[in-house]
Amino acid sequence: MEILKTIAKKSPIWIAYLAALLGLPLIFDSILAISIFNQMAIGIVFALSYNMLLGQGGMLSFGHAVYFGLGGFLAVHTLILIEFETVYFSIIFIPVIGGVIGLLAAIFIGSFSTRKAGTVFAMISLGIGELIAASSLIFSDFFGGEAGISGDRTYGPTFFGVDFAQNDQIYYVAAIWVFIATLFMYLFTQTPAGRMANAVRDNPERAEFIGYSSRRIRFISFCASGLFAGIAGGLFALNYEFITEENLNAATSGRVLLMAYIGGLGYFIGPIIGAVVLTLMNSLLSNYTELWMLYLGIMFLLTVIYLPRGFAGFIMMHQVAWINNRLRSLAIPYLLIGLPSLVLLAGIIAMVEMSDHEGEAFHYLGFELDPESFITWAIVAGFSLAAYAGVRAALPQLKEAWESANAVPDSKDSKS
């Protein structure tokens, strides 16, 4: 009952979310699009679970893929068990298995690793992550060695006649799970444990002085995030019907960190944005350029330096201006700086691509660029410089507008 009333407050958003999740494959129905949506779904749950740790709880983990991977491995094994009818239930419940395993693993590992946050926690998470990833190669009976293990999701009881052989069928299962997982992760943030997680993140010392053991709060966040990471692993297993050691290792842990960070830590919607953006970059950009990972790396680094709160953080930075009703005053300064920035970006990318293409002409944004031609280089460089000058020129105006839009009124005096 309480759940319904809480959602009801923001129900337009939730309804829109559900509609988007269910409706997207109706608008974009190509095989590629469905595959991308499936990846996004997995990424959203995984990144949201990571944010419970880092954004909400302030715990930087380099080994979060463990819970994702373990959930996935158990999920695939369960698919195999269903196939041989050792157990028999609909595969739509597979993510539950993933979640349970993720939770159990998190309870075990969290029992000794949540004593402190900060660097020690990060190092333990790295060590555990590497340990488990390396062990998975050793225990090849369970983990399948380098080749991993695979299963088949078309077994088990059908769901209203659907056997989930097709990707769009499994997408709807994923979409419902994403909605449920998002909902519960959101509701967690509205509970005492969730709020205290924020408090412990901001000031673990002070949290103790209002009656809470920081360690216990961290442990709860840790277990919850393991649970949902395991669910994401289960979704992965359902989608790909295949899982390897790679899905437990440091690279996967790094990827979810990237997703959450770029999207924006500490804001609930951040990881959703991050998962969407990164999945798009991964699937679409990689078709256009070999260098997309390089761009990703640069973008990540720039985000850390200039936009430490990510895309969501950038949006939420305007919160005070919104409260002050001064948002409109920022529109023109943003435009004046935005246009030259885009040109500058396009120019730099053009130059990088030209260096990479080693003499061959190629298409870029509707133009044909020839790396051998001095004129091409001169034009691109010229535009870039001009754009840079434009950005520098527009900066002071933006600063001024920003400061005036963000003034906090003084507190009222309290008279006794």
Partner 1 sequence: MLEVFVFATLNGLVTGLLLFMLASGLTLIFSMMGVLNFAHASFYMLGAYFAYSISLKTGFWAGLILAPLLVGVLGAMVERYGLRRVHQSGHVAELVFTFGLAFLIDEAVQFFWGADTKNYRSPEILDFPLFTMFGQEFPAYRGFMIGISVLIFIGLYYVLTRSRVGIIIQAAITHPNTVANLGHNVPLIFMGVFGVGTALAGLAGVIAGPVLTTFPGMALVLGSIVFVIVVIGGLGSLPGALIASLLVGLLQSYAIASDVGMPELLELLGISFDRNHPLNDLWTLSLPQIAPILPYLLLVLVLIFRPAGLLGKREE
Partner 2 sequence: MSILTLNNISKSFGETEIIRGIDLAIEDGEKHAIIGPNGAGKSTLFHLISGLHNVTGGSIVFKNQEIQNRPPFEISRLGLARSFQVTNIFHRMSVFENVRCALLWSKGFRYSFWHLLGRQSELNDAAMHVLEEIGLSDQAQYPAGELAYAAQRALELGIAIASGADLIMLDEPVAGMSISEAENAVELIRKVTSGKTLIMVEHDMNIVFDIADRISVLVYGKIIATDVPEKIRANPQVQEAYLGEVASSA
Which residues are near partner 2 by CB under 8 A?
Answer: 2-3, 5-6, 9, 187-188, 190-196, 198-199, 201-203, 205-214, 216-217, 220, 224, 266, 319-320, 323, 408-416
Minimum Å gap between C-beta 201 and partner 1 is 10
CA–CA dist 106, 227 (Å, integer): 8
Minimum Å gap between C-beta 301 and partner 2 is 23
Helix H or strand E segment including 82? helix 65-83
Asked if 138 touches partner 1 (CB under 8 A), the answer is: yes
Asked if 246 touches partner 1 (CB under 8 A), the answer is: no
**Helices 31-53/270-280 angle, 10° precision:** 140
Of partner 1, partner 2, none, which one sits near residue 202, judging by CB under 5 to 8 A according to partner kind? Answer: partner 2
- Give residue 189's Cα distance to chain centre: 17
Asked if 108 touches partner 1 (CB under 8 A), the answer is: no
Of partner 1, partner 2, none, which one sits near residue 323, judging by CB under 5 to 8 A according to partner kind? Answer: partner 2
Minimum Å gap between C-beta 229 and partner 1 is 19
CA–CA dist 225, 189 (Å, integer): 12
Q: Which residue, 8 or 131, is less far from partner 1 as judged by CB?
A: 131
Of partner 2, partner 1, none, which one sits near residue 229, judging by CB under 5 to 8 A according to partner kind? Answer: none
Category of 362 on φ-ψ map: left (φ > 0), alpha (ψ -120 to 50) or beta? beta
Q: Please count the other Cβ atoms lying within 10 Å of the Cβ belonging to residue 369.
A: 20
- Binding residue for partner 1 (CB under 8 A) from 356, 362, 390, 398? 356
- Burial code (b: 16+ CB inside 10 Å, e: under 16) for 160-193 equals eeeebeeebebbbbbbbbbbebbbebbebbeeee
Long-range contacts formed by 5-12: CB under 8 A, 24+ apart: 6/187, 6/190, 7/183
Minimum Å gap between C-beta 305 and partner 1 is 5
- Binding residue for partner 1 (CB under 8 A) from 6, 35, 140, 282? 140
Q: Site residues for partner 1, window 261-290 (CB under 8 A)?
A: 261
Q: What is the DSSP letter of 151?
A: -
Asked if 119 touches partner 1 (CB under 8 A), the answer is: yes
Asked if 86 touches partner 1 (CB under 8 A), the answer is: no
Of partner 1, partner 2, none, which one sits near residue 199, judging by CB under 5 to 8 A according to partner kind? Answer: partner 2
Minimum Å gap between C-beta 120 and partner 1 is 6
Q: Please count the other Cβ atoms lying within 10 Å of the Cβ belonging to residue 66.
A: 30
Asked if 208 touches partner 1 (CB under 8 A), the answer is: no
Q: What is the DSSP string of 62-77?
A: S-THHHHHHHHHHHHH
Helix H or strand E segment including 362? strand 362-364
Residue type, 343: V
- Burial code (b: 16+ CB inside 10 Å, e: under 16) for 82-115 equals beeeeeeeebbebbbbbbbbbbbbbeebbeebbe
Asked if 122 touches partner 1 (CB under 8 A), the answer is: yes
Q: What angle do CA 321, 326, 327 make, to 5 degrees?
A: 70
Q: Which residue, 214 or 239, is less far from partner 2 as judged by CB?
A: 214
Of 97-105, 135-143, 149-157, 218-226, which part binds partner 1 (CB under 8 A)?
135-143
Minimum Å gap between C-beta 130 and partner 1 is 5
Of partner 1, partner 2, none, which one sits near residue 410, judging by CB under 5 to 8 A according to partner kind? Answer: partner 2
Q: Which residue, 235 or 258, is less far from partner 1 as judged by CB?
A: 258
Category of 241 on φ-ψ map: left (φ > 0), alpha (ψ -120 to 50) or beta? left
**Residues at the interface with partner 1 (CB under 8 A):** 54, 58, 60, 62, 112-113, 115-116, 118-120, 122-124, 126-128, 130-131, 134-135, 138-142, 250, 254, 257-258, 261, 291, 293-294, 296-298, 300-301, 304-305, 308, 356
